[in-house]
Amino acid sequence: MRVLITAGPTYEPIDPVRFIGNHSTGKMGYALAEAFAESGAQVTLISGPTTLPDPANSQIRTTRVETGAQMYGAAAAAAPEADVWVFAAAVADYRPREVAPNKIKKAGDTLTLELVRNVDIAATLGQTKRPEQFSVGFALETNDEEAHARGKLQRKNFDLIVLNSLRDPGAGFRHDTNKVTLLDAAGQMTIFELKPKAAVAHDIVRTVLARLSLRDA
């Protein structure tokens, strides 16, 4: 089995020394890469900038990217051959319209940056998904969690979505733990306890493998 995973944040450059980014650490995506590799899969891990080392497991091939556009390019190249797609990256939704060639000097009391939409990697690849391929997305929400997650599941053609609520202590960014709820396209919902991200990754892998074996049956 081949698995494609996006992980970490993206950095969208403003000028040669500044960028727009976010607090994603990549830990959940890297834990998923390890868990899929342990289950025997060949993993392509496409990672935004993180402080994590490339996984040592020889079944994981890591590609480093910076921007959403680069992440899309790498993911689009690997997607057709992958049986499972996991979109764990926190891709910046917008990027500066122009990247200043030189460091922007301060002038005046305010500065306005014009931002343009970044490609939605999961949604764009979702349109190319073949019936035998399986796509997993993430949703990090603060309110109306289930409704937002179900909307994303449909819009991005996911088979399964991993919902994190920032209302749950210990879930989401900057933690070594996570508390997730899995929702599938058939409406089934499974709520998991707060646990280390490595254990959450194994729960997700087990669920994906179970769904794939049901399809084969």
Task: Catalog residues that contact ligand CTP under the rule CB under 6 A.
Answer: 6, 68, 87, 89, 91, 93, 118, 120-122, 137-140, 152, 156
How far, CA to CA in Å, does 13 sit from each of 34, 38, 65, 97, 167?
A: 30, 36, 13, 10, 31
The nearer residue to ligand CTP, 41 or 46, going by C-beta atoms, is: 46
Active-site annotation holder among 22, 57, 118, 143: 22
> How, if at all, do strands 115-117 and 18-20 pair?
unpaired
Nearest to 111 by CA among 12, 18, 9: 18
Cβ 102 to ligand CTP shortest distance, Å? 28
Is 22 an active-site residue?
yes
The nearer residue to ligand CTP, 55 or 68, going by C-beta atoms, is: 68
Cβ 196 to ligand CTP shortest distance, Å? 21
The nearer residue to ligand CTP, 17 or 154, going by C-beta atoms, is: 154
Cβ 164 to ligand CTP shortest distance, Å? 9
**Catalytic center residues:** 22
